[in-house]
Structure 1
Amino acid sequence: MFGTPSQGRRRFLGATLCGALASCGGSDSDADAAQPAPGPVPDKQVNDAIAQLDKLAADLMTSSGLPGMAVAVVRVDQTVYAKGFGTRLVGSGTAVDADTVFQLASVSKSVGSCVVAQQVGTGSVAWNTPVRAHLPWFTLSDAEVSQEVTVADLYSHQSGLPDHAGDRLEDLGYSQTEVLQRLRYLPLHPFRNSYFYTNFGLTAAAVSVAQAAGVDWATLSERVLYQPLGMSSTSSRYADFAARSNRALGHVRLNGKWVQGIGSMPDAQSPAGGVSSSVNDMAKWLAMMLGKGVYKGKRIVDATALSAAITAQVQSAPPGAGRPASFYGYGFNVGTTAAGRAMFSHSGGFGAGAATNFVAVPSTGLAIVTLTNGYPIGVAETLNAQFFDLVQFGSIQRDWGTLFANGLASVITPEGSLVGVSPPAAPLPARALSAYTGTYRNDYHGPIQVADQGGSLVLSIGPIPMKLPLTHWDGDVFTFTLVNENAAPGTISKASFLSDRVTLEYYDEDGVGTFIR
């Protein structure tokens, strides 16, 4: 369903965590394909599973303390369950209902993939259209890859861009265009021979599709998907989410208590993480998905183009430790359930307070979506896995809560090699502060300024400078702390000075964190 997040990743949840952590995924091997399709599930089993959702959700709310959650189930083309639990904001007394709007985070990729598929169906673009056909300035560090990379390559994370490329530029305040232009400075993994989950790579593909249509992405999404489906509470603009009176605000857990988070404004990567919606609206989308692009008798998305999106295009995680391989389509995780049924799914998460998941198993005629307003701890995934266990087996097969909580622990863990490390008892002294001050350049992150302010060093970084006080650690090493979408509370970064340069540990994940004076 979702994926193994790397340390410190926040808006991640695309890469098949279900397959990576559990046996709910499967492979697309010839042996699997040769096996007969599973038969229908008994109606009583389905009805019993739906009847247990109230208790399952209430139990998860109690055990996690999660502020709010909404759940919907679609059976064939009908919403058979839609309900809210808890509150939109801790302490407010405002209840969540089935029309409460949540930020979807990376579930936006699956929704947006349908926008692309609709455009593929009209002939405006094809999955294999080069991105440069409509976004001619898009450039990566390899000239040949820049010329050849397609919408499909970027929607299946096979461009070679590093994992989560560009996310930290967004945190610094760079615009969508600025982030996409700076991707050219990143080293690439093997083109079409590697899988690295990248929000801004996918965003570049979506922007090129919108350019082909002659409108911006949010408008295209409204015209070809949200309005035809009657998804009146759904938008790909943050301003629309912020203006909703019935919206769920994000929360994080501090010192064991849920508190309101700093919030996420994901317009820069709207196609990858910027959709907001309610479960009532998402149920309409899931009914269209189960209908292979048809909703209430009307063709919304071309069936062939949509089928490609939910077909395995790349292995996102290899088999191992008793679990099967995981696969990714175009904006969807795809595989088979433990009962051998084809499935597609996705999760989403904001470190500032959102966690979402949907799962569809077409042979059962069922799909479920769970939206929450707390940062990712596995509640949405757990509920959906429990539901499909009950549907397929009549009982819950695994301790999903523990499985997913352990799998997502790194997402809410502070980063930095000095986290939890005691300062040296006898540190080497720093040089005179003037030895460190000045302007340092970096093509990818942009320039930084290190200044002496009242006898202490302050680092300024980003287009709207973020000022970070530096604390001496040892010799020419200083530290600074960060809290943002990708930096969990408690994150510590080293700033290591050497001659005419400084390396910022937090910004050096792809080897581009050295700034030269």
Structure 2
Amino acid sequence: MKKLFISLLLFVFFSVQSFAQANLKAIDAYINKAQKDWNVPGLAVAIVKDGKVVHAKGYGVKELGKADKVDEHTLFAIASNSKAFVSSAIGTLVDQGKLNWKDKVKSHLPYFELYDHYASEEATVEDLLCHRLGLGTYSGDAIWYKSTFSAEEVVRRIKYVPQAYGFRDGYGYSNLMFITAGEVIKSVTGKTWAEYVDQTFIQPLGMSRTITSTNDLLAKGNYATPHKAVRNENIVVDWVNWDNMGAAGGIISSVSDMAKWMNFQLVNGKIGNEQVLEYNTQANLWTPHNSYLVTESQKQNRPGVNFRGYGLGWAVSDYHGRRVIAHGGGYDGMYSRVLMVPEENLGIVVLTNGMRGISGTITDFVVDKYLGLEEINYSEEALKNMSYPMYDRIDAIKAKHVPNTQPSLSLDDYVGTFYTPMYGDIHIKKGSNGLLLEFEDAPLLMASLTHWHYDTFEIKWDVEHAWFDFGTVQFEFDQSRNITGIKIDVPNNDIFFHELELKKVESK
């Protein structure tokens, strides 16, 4: 009987081992196929389980048309996955007694202002980290995007961003509030958010390839090239410096390094024997502070999910009775995702050099494999429903183009300076071949203007931009046919030029 019992134990042990190995092979095959099916030039994936890195691998190439392969050490922008580093950094300052979650933001940044006095006075440090302060999703991002404004200058302009919903009465994903959180860290510590995060997490965890600025890419080497997605086509775009919004999305890392970050989170904030982030503090980061509706269709598409919300720098939900702690990231030409299931001591990170939603289909597949659930080909299902809403909007605008019209004024009459408090000055100038569009504080947004129809001109950007391309400038007039302002319409889902209410302040 004893021999039979031992034999059964050995059978179960080797069956589990074989299943785990088969699991990883199936995952690897799935990722390989998905990378090709989604037409993503390159990506890397790491999986940690029970404190160990069980998978860390690159797929595809660093740059379309070149032979260099992605590996587990290749650098990608993790974009908004940086937010968890910043919220965790603030958590350590709470643990040290240097600030409190309920501190008023203005007690650390007296110049901080929102759309009204009450919101400005009552906003807390905690509020900054959970997207509930009344600003719309991505609203105001046009202030920092490719601009020369410092982080402090960006924060000083937030008061001009329009209110979208009631104070603490909704959800609007706000990069501006995390930029503000970075400035709070600087105020409290005397160090930039990047310096503090580097000294507190990156160096102690041995994340030796992780950097906080594109300025350090060349020195590190082995980095991927960003690619814009234009329907089924990939177009190489330049790396863009995000230093002025770095606290919201500036970290650049590899899956090998991010595996260390996930393991730090999964052991409840310990590095070696040191408790860097207290247990209750991390629990607060992982507690929903801003819940949002899970619709019936969402439940059908993802059975096992009953609630969703945002903690502090992390999205929080459930899945078949387990907590899921996750976040996505979107940078110019790169998407990423981090997902952890603490009860399973499981973490997955996906970094890509393309702008297609492949990362969620990988993390979901991996989680199901480890939970022993029925296999669903999330990649295949998502590809069936692939859409290109931005380009559909552009097509709709182009379909209404009226040919054979003429501008009502001479080109010289359109020249002038146009101002909005949120942003500053934008100039329309006369060039050798027509009109020019010039953002005074964002020289990377230079463009020429060609006549579209009537008093509307098409924007021809000097360089390729990842988040947008086609756009128009429409001139506005008073009853005497004097130009009073311009409206910039650039269809996209992230950088809202239409928020800039530009009024003419100077002729020629």
Question: Same fold per TM (> 0.5)?
Answer: yes
Q: CA deviation at 1:300?
A: 2.2
User: Is 2:367 aligned against 1:388?
Assistant: yes
In 2 relative to 1, CA 254–190 (structure 1 residues): closer, same or farther, beyond 3 Å? closer
The aligned counterpart of 2:275 is 299
Structure ranking higher on relative contact order (CA contacts 8 Å, 6+ apart): 1
In 2 relative to 1, CA 144–479 (structure 1 residues): closer, same or farther, beyond 3 Å? same
In structure 1, runs of 5+ residues without a counterpart are 1-41
In 2 relative to 1, CA 407–184 (structure 1 residues): closer, same or farther, beyond 3 Å? farther
In 2 relative to 1, CA 223–343 (structure 1 residues): closer, same or farther, beyond 3 Å? same
In 2 relative to 1, CA 264–366 (structure 1 residues): closer, same or farther, beyond 3 Å? same
In 2 relative to 1, CA 45–299 (structure 1 residues): closer, same or farther, beyond 3 Å? farther
In 2 relative to 1, CA 405–309 (structure 1 residues): closer, same or farther, beyond 3 Å? farther
The aligned counterpart of 2:133 is 159
In structure 2, runs of 5+ residues without a counterpart are 1-15, 300-305, 479-483
Does the aligned pair in 1 maintain the 2:285–2:314 contact within 8 Å?
Answer: yes
Alignment partner of 2:323 out of 334, 342, 345: 342
* Pairing of 1:279-298 with structure 2 (within 5 A): 279-298=255-274
In 2 relative to 1, CA 77–346 (structure 1 residues): closer, same or farther, beyond 3 Å? same
* Pairing of 1:333-412 with structure 2 (within 5 A): 333-337=315-319, 339-350=320-331, 352-375=332-355, 377-397=356-376, 399-403=378-382, 406=385, 409-410=388-389
In 2 relative to 1, CA 406–151 (structure 1 residues): closer, same or farther, beyond 3 Å? farther
The aligned counterpart of 2:195 is 219
Alignment partner of 2:485 out of 489, 493, 501: 501
Distance 2:399 2:147 in 1: 30
Alignment partner of 1:470 out of 437, 444, 449: 449
Distance 2:61 2:394 in 1: 34
The aligned counterpart of 2:481 is none
Does the aligned pair in 2 maintain the 1:79–1:283 contact within 8 Å?
Answer: yes
Does the aligned pair in 2 maintain the 1:345–1:357 contact within 8 Å?
Answer: yes
1:479 aligns to what SS in structure 2? Answer: strand
In structure 2, give the amino acid aligned to 1:329. G
In structure 1, give the amino acid aligned to 2:103. T
In 2 relative to 1, CA 221–401 (structure 1 residues): closer, same or farther, beyond 3 Å? farther
User: Is 2:471 aligned against 1:492?
Assistant: yes
Does the aligned pair in 2 maintain the 1:503–1:515 contact within 8 Å?
Answer: no
In 2 relative to 1, CA 409–301 (structure 1 residues): closer, same or farther, beyond 3 Å? farther
Q: CA deviation at 1:159?
A: 1.3
Which shows bigger deviation, 480-489 or 106-115?
Answer: 480-489
Distance 1:46 1:279 in 2: 21
Q: CA deviation at 1:426?
A: 4.6
In 2 relative to 1, CA 264–395 (structure 1 residues): closer, same or farther, beyond 3 Å? farther
In 2 relative to 1, CA 242–430 (structure 1 residues): closer, same or farther, beyond 3 Å? farther
Alignment partner of 1:319 out of 295, 305, 329: 295
Does the aligned pair in 2 maintain the 1:318–1:326 contact within 8 Å?
Answer: yes
Q: What fraction of aligned residue pairs are identical, expressed as a percent? A: 26
Give per-residue Cα distances to partners, 1:360-400, cap 9 Å, x unaligned.
Answer: 1111121111111112x122211111111112234323534
Distance 1:480 1:104 in 2: 30
> Structure 2 length as normaliser, TM-score?
0.85
Distance 1:178 1:440 in 2: 20
Q: CA deviation at 1:319?
A: 2.5
The aligned counterpart of 1:513 is 501
Number of aligned positions between the proteins = 471
Q: CA deviation at 1:156?
A: 0.2
In 2 relative to 1, CA 404–270 (structure 1 residues): closer, same or farther, beyond 3 Å? farther
Does the aligned pair in 2 maintain the 1:166–1:180 contact within 8 Å?
Answer: no
Does the aligned pair in 2 maintain the 1:168–1:486 contact within 8 Å?
Answer: no
The aligned counterpart of 1:142 is 116
Alignment partner of 1:57 out of 23, 31, 41: 31
User: Is 2:237 aligned against 1:270?
Assistant: no
